[in-house]
Amino acid sequence: MTGTGTPVLRLEGVRKTFGRDTVVLRDVNLDVAPHTVTALIGASGSGKSTLLRCANLLEEIDDGAIFLDGEDITDPRADADTVRRRIGVVFQAYNLFPHMTVLDNITLAPRRVHGTSRSQAQAHALELLDRLGLAGKASAYPDRLSGGQQQRVAIARALAVRPRLLLLDEITAALDPELVGEVLNVVRDLKGDGMTMVLATHEMGFAREVADQVCFLDGGVVLERGSPEQIFGDPREERTRRFLRRIV
C-alpha cells in the first residue's frame, strides 16, 4: 500500500454470488490510496470485471461493504447515481454511441447528469480530446475512428465528469496489437496527472510498469497483493507463480 489517508476505494469482506452456486467474490479486501494505480490480475473468470462492476454499483454485493472516499456506498441509503458520478468507467468494448459524434459522446454525461452548460462541456471535451491526441476528431462519428482512437474517446468520455476514480476493464483487450500502445500511453499520462485508477489487465508488462500495487485474484479472494516488483519478481504464493508462468 502506498500513500496515506482515507483510501479512495476500499472493499471490505466483499462477497458476490450469481445464483446459488457461483461464488465469484468470496471475501475480497482491497484498499486503493489516492493518486495510485492498482492492477487487478488473475485468470479469466477470477472476478476482475465483477469486482469493478461492484465498485461502480452495477452489481449488488451479497455481503461486506464498499467505501468511496470513506463513505459506505453499499449502504442501502446511498444514492447509486451520485456514486457513479464520481467514478469513471471504461470497458473492453468501447461502447460509444454510434449515432453521436465524438463531441456529443463526451459531453452527454456532463450535460445530462451533471447539468454542465453546453459550452462548458464542449470546452472541456475539446481540451480532453487535445490531451488524448484526438484534436480534430470532435465532429467525427465513432465508426470513422480506429479501435485505439475509439477507446481513447471512451477514456475522454469517462474523464469528462471529472471523476474521483477511474475503473478500466481490459481496455486494450479488443484492440489490434499495434493500437495497444497509444491507449496505454494515455493511462501512463493519467497516472502522471495523479489520477486514481483501478485496472483489470492481461498486459503484465504494463501492470508492472504502471501499477503501484498489483492484486492477484484467485478463488474469490485477493490471494496476493504487493508491489509489481514483489508480485512479478518474487511471488509468495504458488498459485500466483503458476498463473504468471502461464501468462508470460
**Element containing residue 10 per DSSP (H, E):** strand 9-18
Q: Considering the complex, state which of residue 116 and residue 201 has its C-beta at the smaller distance from Mg ion.
A: 201
45 binds, options ligand ADP, Mg ion, none, Cβ within 5 to 8 A by partner type: ligand ADP
Residue of the chain from 42, 64, 220, 226 that contacts ligand ADP (CB under 6 A) = 42
Mark the segment that binds ligand ADP (CB under 6 A) among 29-37, 45-53, 125-133, 234-242.
45-53
The Cα–Cα gap between 30 and 2 comes to 13
CB of 121 to ligand ADP, least distance (A): 32
Stretch that binds ligand ADP, among 38-46, 110-118, 143-151, 233-241 (CB under 6 A): 38-46
The C-alpha cell of 229 is what? 516488483
The minimum distance between CB 51 and ligand ADP, in angstroms, equals: 7
Closer to Mg ion by CB, 48 or 191: give it: 48
Q: Quote the Cα angle for 192-198-203, to 5°.
A: 85
* Pick 134 or 199: Cβ nearer Mg ion: 199
| Binding residue for ligand ADP, selected from 4, 21, 44, 76, defined by CB under 6 A | 44
The item of ligand ADP, Mg ion, none sharing an interface with residue 42, based on CB under 5 to 8 Å by kind, is: ligand ADP
Site for ligand ADP in 193-222 (CB under 6 A): 200
Could you say whether residue 137 binds ligand ADP (CB under 6 A)?
no
H-type alpha helices, the chain? 48-55, 80-84, 102-112, 118-131, 147-159, 177-192, 204-210, 228-233, 238-247
How many angstroms separate the CA atoms of 211 and 226, rounded?
10
Please, which residue, 25 or 121, has the CB nearer to ligand ADP?
25
From ligand ADP, Mg ion, none, which one binds at residue 24 (CB under 5 to 8 Å depending on kind)?
ligand ADP
Using CA atoms, how far residue 185 sits from 30, 79, 91, 188, 191, in Å, is 26, 34, 17, 5, 10
Contact 66, 10 (CB under 8 A): yes
Q: Is the separation of the CB atoms in 145 and 137 below 8 Å?
A: yes
Nearer CB in complex with ligand ADP: 43/78: 43
User: d(Cα 4, Cα 161) in Å, to the nearest integer?
Assistant: 25
- Asked if residue 48 binds ligand ADP (CB under 6 A), the reply is yes
List the single partner that 44 binds among Mg ion, ligand ADP, none, CB under 5 to 8 Å by kind: ligand ADP
CA distance linking residue 120 with residue 111, whole number of Å: 9
Query: Interface with ligand ADP by CB under 6 A: which residues?
Result: 18, 22, 24, 42, 44-50, 200
